[in-house]
Every structure is written in C-alpha cells, then in structure tokens.
Amino acid sequence: MPDPEVLPRFARWALHGFSVFELPDGDYRRLARLVPLLVDRQWVCEAAGAALLADGFPVLPTREHPHWTVVLSEPTPEQFARARRHFSEPKRNPVWAGPGQR
C-alpha cells in the first residue's frame, strides 16, 4: 500500500514522491518564516539534495519555494527505504515552539 502522502501527489502531478523543504543557508529560523508549520514539528531530518540526485531521485521544485518533491520511480517500501538512507536520524527541531505555543 502506498504511503498516504503519495496518492494525492500522483493525482495532482502524475508522479510519485514526498515533500521536503529546502533549508535556506542552514537557517531554521528563516525556514520557519517561510513555512510556519515547521514550528509545530518537534523532530526534523536532513538530507543533501545532491546525494538524492546522485542516487537517481529527482528533486523537483513544486508548489512555492522552499517546497520540493523527492520523486520515486514507484511508491514501494523498497524505494522509500532507499531514499530514507539519505536522511539523517531525527533530531530536535531548533525552532519547535512546543505544544500549544504557536
């Protein structure tokens, strides 16, 4: 069964993938200004776009900057696992506001 995030994306863009946000110059505060929902997330993972590209995962600008989609050739557990290798372990979000703080 495909990840629930993949199905609406396929209906809209005719591609399988998942959302990521560019971290402008490594600045989480700047990213939170661009994407306010970031402060609601306690944990984040990071990946280098170049590493994803080198492993055959296109990274396309979709919606508004800094939103990107990591494209999968098919929405299988194997493809997700292969892409996941490029992401760090979860780490505390430095701009997390805490529950009910926004």
Average pLDDT over residues 77-100: 93
**Tokens describing residue 95:** 């701009």
Instruction: Quick: pLDDT tens for 18-44.
Output: 999 999 999 999 999 999 999 999 999
Average pLDDT over residues 72-88: 95
Return all residues near 89 (Cβ < 8 A) that are at least 6 apart.
45
Strand partners, 3: none
The secondary structure of residue 90, as a DSSP letter, is: P
Q: What is the pTM of this model?
A: 0.81
48-76 burial, b at 16+ Cβ within 10 Å, e below that, comes to eeeebeeeebebeebeeeeebbbbbeebe
Percent share of the chain, pLDDT over 90: 75
Return all residues near 19 (Cβ < 8 A) that are at least 6 apart.
5, 9, 62, 67, 68, 69, 70
